[in-house]
Structure 1
């Protein structure tokens, strides 16, 4: 049996993950850049149009061999992208976040999956301490302010999920993490003065780790682009596989369109440009702690 026919017999996924959807979207982009429709692509590969559509929708598995064959038929010569997509086909194990599927929103599940696979994470926030740097008591108070109000069990589910996400910063080869935090977020007293003091000290402790950098934008820096939203930029193995996560009041969103990725690269660059340096930022946070 050939690898093509074997793939054709794979069961169709009813609920592909965010990463599987992203993988399929990249296959679709390759096809569209080649100027082919799904029927034409299927004819080149000797498969049905529905199989092409299922691959591009993340509904069926795709082998590394098929990825390379598709790239060849589509005239894609970007070896780094082809290898990055091929590597994605080897991921078969279920991540820890899957145990929360059906309990928390799909957007949160996709966020944890995105963070887990990121080569580098960059955050830019104005009103909240980044989730990966929040302590238990601070995070619990954040969840208590959610509208509509969460039940105590829902709060605990979200809290445990947030803390498990932070494991990427403590593993043997931790994910590099850069956070740009506005002074407003540092002065928000979620849970009162004592909790705020512990939260700021935790940020200071984390910023001393070699793979974590914290920059503060003080009030005196004035206006800056991107101030109205929380941005988490996940860098992939190649720029085409980067992803932006936006945390908004009506829910979260994952963005991967090339023009939008360029926009958020620029926003984060400009935010960092007006922020204090790492050493100055730690001194600034120390000052806030002393004022509490």
Structure 2
């Protein structure tokens, strides 16, 4: 039986937010926009909060009525229509927090990704054993079935890195994350070997910030930046102890692009990063 009254996903909310921004840039109130479009005021409000599905043609009509002339942006917004994507993550709806499903959907639609980690390795590059060791130690503790659900979800997210058109990924990892040894020497060694294997793939770049590199921005949190077909439609996900935070305003996107650029600037090049990973693995 189909589910009813699902809350809007982050992607649906983002579409509504972008349409609201276009309306405001055109200096139109909700009342004026509704009259211009032939909608009711509640319809416009529901579209802008992501609670009302809207067709691609209607999005195009709205954007042009708001005097938007950026065709690339209009088409990118049109591609975001159609309601919630019915992807593999829907099977976890009653098992995981909503932001986990939002993250998987955003990754599914991303055209490129950049991620940065200091203590934990990026989830998209974790082995099952490493993920199990990390997730088993969260607070509050999870029951064994919950641990297995979260581990399987994390591994399935990695599908975006495989297939005929894998999503390009740049991962910036601090040396501290390489040396944490989660799960014990055997698990840690296998995880580092997986990093090396993944770094040899053409669409994956792994850069390591070595000890001694000095200070760098946002050293206390993980950053995951997902690029859309139009750069201004990107989304930043920050990992926190209380869940994911999604950021998408232009100042926020500019800030985190700058942060990631600076972190890359303080990292070793790809070949040097692989050499360091091999040395850490040999020490285990």
TM above 0.5, one fold?
A: yes
Count of aligned residue pairs for this structure pair: 281
How far apart, in 2, do the equivalents of 1:37 and 1:93 lie?
30
Matching residue within 25, 28, 34 for 1:36: 28
Gap runs ≥5 in structure 1: 1-11
Match in the other structure for 1:220: 212
Q: Alpha-carbon deviation of 1:121?
A: 0.6
Structure 2 residue 232 is the aligned partner of structure 1 residue 240: yes
Is the 2:118–2:177 Cα contact (8 Å) retained in structure 1?
A: yes
- SS of residue paired to 2:212: helix
Is the 2:12–2:84 Cα contact (8 Å) retained in structure 1?
A: no
- SS of residue paired to 1:27: helix
Q: Alpha-carbon deviation of 1:93?
A: 4.9
The 1:222/1:141 distance shift into structure 2, 3 A limit, reads same
Structure 2 residue 171 is the aligned partner of structure 1 residue 179: yes
Match in the other structure for 1:202: 194
- SS of residue paired to 1:219: coil
The 1:136/1:185 distance shift into structure 2, 3 A limit, reads same
Structure 2 residue 266 is the aligned partner of structure 1 residue 267: no
Q: Alpha-carbon deviation of 1:125?
A: 0.7
Is the 1:235–1:242 Cα contact (8 Å) retained in structure 2?
A: yes
What do you get for the CA RMSD once the two structures are aligned?
Answer: 1.2
Is the 2:172–2:209 Cα contact (8 Å) retained in structure 1?
A: yes
Q: Alpha-carbon deviation of 1:112?
A: 0.4
The 1:159/1:14 distance shift into structure 2, 3 A limit, reads closer
Matching residue within 126, 137, 147 for 2:139: 147
The 1:231/1:71 distance shift into structure 2, 3 A limit, reads same
TM-score (ref. length: structure 2): 0.96
Map 1:59-208 → 2, pairs under 5 A: 59-90=51-82, 93-208=85-200
TM-score (ref. length: structure 1): 0.94
Structure 2 residue 282 is the aligned partner of structure 1 residue 290: yes
